[in-house]
Amino acid sequence: MTAQQLISDSIIPLRTSETGDTALGIMNDFYVRHLPIVNDKQLLGLISEEDILEHDAHEPVGSYQLSLIRPYVKYNDHLYEILRLIAEYHLTLIPVVDEEENYIGLVTMEDVLQYFTKTASFSEPGSIVVLEMSRHDYQLSQIAQIVESENAAVLSAFITTSLDSIRVDVTIKINRQNIQNILATFERYEYEVKASFNEIEYLDSLRDRYDSLMAYLNV
């Protein structure tokens, strides 16, 4: 998945002559905190809500000193590059440019989330397992082999850790609701099962809590 495939045309970029008030109105309408500023096809920068609040909102945004450098992705950059820059700069959207660095659109954080929710790893029912291990013990091939030995499959996997730790958490999603045999096999191979979640049971628990809250509010 590349940036070009995620481009949204619902948000029109700002022109330098438009005011901070106009920018704030667009941000409120689309629930974002950033907007690209474009002169013809040239991407000038990315303005943030904080930039506007630090300047006169009645003045044109072209006169503002922007706090961000000019973050962008190229149209053929991978989804992981989009996520990296969004996380690094705490963005709600990121501009997309062509090979000549001309503005061609933007990708919002909502677009990224919508993409993930439509993939099989999110939409297909299953269970989630969190394994804790040392870095040098991590072998995704062995983890997948254990899951497959129980006639199941790993739908997705990711690692979380901290720079000062030799331990990692490996979170995997498995395409099965009943995973007791898989958990037992992990333990037999001396994997530490830190947590496990059945999606249906988890959603049912959330629904029960929501119903209880609504009943309490209606008292």
Report how far residue 105's alpha carbon sits from residue 125's, in angstroms, rounded to the nearest whole number.
34
Per CATH, 3-116 and 121-209 having the same topology is answered no
* Check whether domain 121-209 has CATH 3.30.450.40, yes or no: no
Q: How many other CB atoms sit within 10 Å of the CB of residue 115? A: 16
Give backbone dihedrals phi and psi of 201, rounded to 5 degrees, phi first.
-65, -40
Report how far residue 30's alpha carbon sits from residue 37's, in angstroms, rounded to the nearest whole number.
16
Task: Specify the pTM.
Answer: 0.67
Determine the pLDDT at residue 105.
Answer: 94
Domain ranges within the chain, ordered by starting residue: 3-116, 121-209
| 109 in Cβ contact with 152 (< 8 Å) | no
Determine the pLDDT at residue 203.
Answer: 57
What does each of the 219 residues of the chain score in pLDDT, given as a tens digit? 899 999 988 899 999 999 999 999 999 999 999 999 999 889 999 999 999 999 999 999 999 988 887 899 999 999 889 999 999 999 999 999 999 989 999 999 988 888 877 765 666 778 899 999 998 889 999 999 999 999 999 988 888 887 778 899 999 999 988 899 999 999 999 999 998 887 666 555 556 666 676 666 665
Name the superfamily (CATH) of residues 3-116: CBS-domain (3.10.580.10)
**Residue 12: closest CA among 55, 179, 32, 186:** 32
Determine the pLDDT at residue 177.
Answer: 87
Determine the pLDDT at residue 118.
Answer: 73
